[in-house]
Amino acid sequence: MVWMNLTMQLKLLPAPEQSDALLRTMERFNAACDALAAIAFANRCANKVELQKLAYHDIRRDFGLGAQMTVRAIAKVVEVYKRDKDIQPTFRPHGAIVYDQRILSWKGADRVSIQTNDGRQIMPWVCGAYQRALLDRARGQADLIYRDGMFFLFVTIDVGDVPKGDPTEYLGVDLGRRNIAADSDGETFCGAHNASLRNRHARLRRKLQRKGTKSARRLLRARRRKEARYASDLNHRISKAIVRKATDTGRGIAVEDLKGIRDRTTVQRSQRRAHHSWTFAQLRADLSYKAALAGVPLVAVDPRNTSRTCPEPGCGCIDKRNRLTRDTFKCISCGHAGPSDTTAARNISALGSRHAAERRAA
């Protein structure tokens, strides 16, 4: 069994006066966080209980926050200050507010009651059918986010125990810069088209950066958000397709353990942008939670020599000369040839199956 929690995004639809109330509350809340951060830094206090003793009454009086809102501000400051006690944290005026059950409650199927400095505000929200079906499992806190002139609630969803299978075979997945993913069945995901699109985005960014005007910086911010949305959507679609294939064929999923790859590898100057904009970490995270939600085991294997090893049974030749080009593999021993990404994925699949066999034998 695997215990699963997910985060669900809801869009709030406040009336104009409610939007103003939320913005005022955010500004007051984050101003209080700045004041609390100064106290925590001056007293070297990273303990929530101790900081509450030092500042609770003064913060309530000076910023007009409610009791529980003050407690949430103290918790936010302590969480941030703990990360680096040598720096006094600062908070954006419209930074997130963490709500708990005392200051946020659900009203029916499409309303939420939120505490503001102007009192409780009941406002509608919307989401997709998938998110709505999970709302009855909402647990714990919800984060109020202000982004691009809109308000969102990020809610923790308790999925509960998900049965986990024990397959003998694994679908190998090779992650790369040109083909974002390639599996051991020979299927590739988002190759040349995605690469050309990312190159186009890079050219537009460079053009705006050289211009350097206020409007160019505004367009750069908008483009950054657009590219992030594109990458996120693409990763979700790829991971969904991979997990569906593994589920339908009764296999697990094997991927390379790429933690710290940017520190371990070097590339030519012309390839640095592609190397550092590679979103494999996000794709790996999407694969992990989707696989866990579907009850599909996911294992991370050693990536060494996966692109240089012949996957044919009885061969297994390891030589960098096997990799003729970035896209082509040809074994110097047995002559096996094929796409390099698919070859690497087959080796990853074999390593995943070996990992499963060793786990069952232990």
38-83: per-residue pLDDT in tens?
Answer: 999 999 999 999 999 999 999 999 999 999 999 999 999 999 999 9
Residue 331 · residue 312 · CB < 8 Å: yes
Nearest partner of 174 among 262, 231, 255, judged by Cα: 255
111-134: per-residue pLDDT in tens?
Answer: 999 999 999 999 999 988 777 777
Please tell me which residue, 98 or 226, carries the higher pLDDT value: 98
d(CA 81, CA 87): 8
Nearest partner of 78 among 35, 29, 43, 37, judged by Cα: 37
Q: Where are the beta strands (DSSP E) in the chain?
A: 2-12, 97-99, 104-107, 111-116, 119-126, 138-147, 150-162, 170-175, 181-183, 188-189, 252-256, 298-301, 328-330, 337-339
d(CA 117, CA 134): 30
Q: With cut-offs at 50, 70 and 90, classify the pLDDT of residue 196.
A: low
Cross-strand bridge partners of residue 120:
115
d(CA 12, CA 19): 10
For residue 267, pLDDT beyond 50: no
Q: What is the pLDDT of residue 191?
A: 56
* Among the ranges given (121-135, 159-173, 288-302), the one the predictor scored with the smallest mean pLDDT: 159-173
Residue 143: what are its φ and ψ, rounded to 5°? -100, 125
Residue 10 exposure: Cα atoms within 13 Å on the Cβ side: 26
The answer, as to whether pTM is greater than 0.85, is no
For residue 271, pLDDT beyond 90: no
d(CA 44, CA 84): 11
Residue 134: what are its φ and ψ, rounded to 5°? -100, -5
Nearest partner of 169 among 346, 352, 299, 294, judged by Cα: 352
For residue 270, pLDDT beyond 60: no
For residue 289, pLDDT beyond 70: yes
137-163: per-residue pLDDT in tens?
Answer: 776 688 999 988 999 999 887 766 666
